[in-house]
Amino acid sequence: MKSALSENHRYGLPMVAVHWLMAVGILTAFGMGLYMVDIPGITPFKLKLFNWHKWLGVTLFALVLLRIVVRTFSKTPKYPAHWGHKTVLLAKLGHLALYAAMLGVPTFGYLYSLAAGFPVMWFGIVELPVIIEKNAELKELFKTLHELSGKGLVLLVAGHVLMALKHHILDKDGVLGRMIPGMKAD
């Protein structure tokens, strides 16, 4: 039986599940995006990849909203006592940047698709609202914002992973175990 102390140092299963689903989804969407834009011309396979990329983007947007709800109503572990004010502030800013990017990337992608004149159909079933009409100038703006925010998100994820590894390998403070079931936490 786990002690109350160890449970207070971990995220709950819903938060852990959404975290890892988001991680896999973000990396998949980024890889797919890089791959599909390099396919020359317009082929049925390329169009299929674009649709899958959009479906994944809408799903990730829904997951980040779910993640925000889960985080709002879940107990979150306290920061380690040995962390100073600066470390806590940097951790909070890093997480805030991750959430902003996780919301921004799919939003810019959605607006890019609409501005290009392509409505977004989630899994080919649910048509998302058309909130802007086809517009060449906005298309270029939202394309650039989608690409830059996507790259920014991947950099933030890489930084997040590096900091988790730093805490695990160098600091040995158990922070990584908060998100990995079965691993010692704090």
Domains of the chain, by residue range, sit at 4-178
Fold of 4-178: Fumarate Reductase Cytochrome B subunit (1.20.950)
- pLDDT > 60? residue 4: no
Is-above-0.85 flag for pTM? yes
Task: At 36, give phi and psi (nearest 5°).
Answer: -70, -30
pLDDT, position 6: 41
| pLDDT tens-digit map of 166-178 | 989 998 888 888 9
Give the per-residue pLDDT at 1.
32
Number of alpha carbons in the 13 Å side-chain half-sphere of residue 151: 6
pLDDT value of position 75: 86
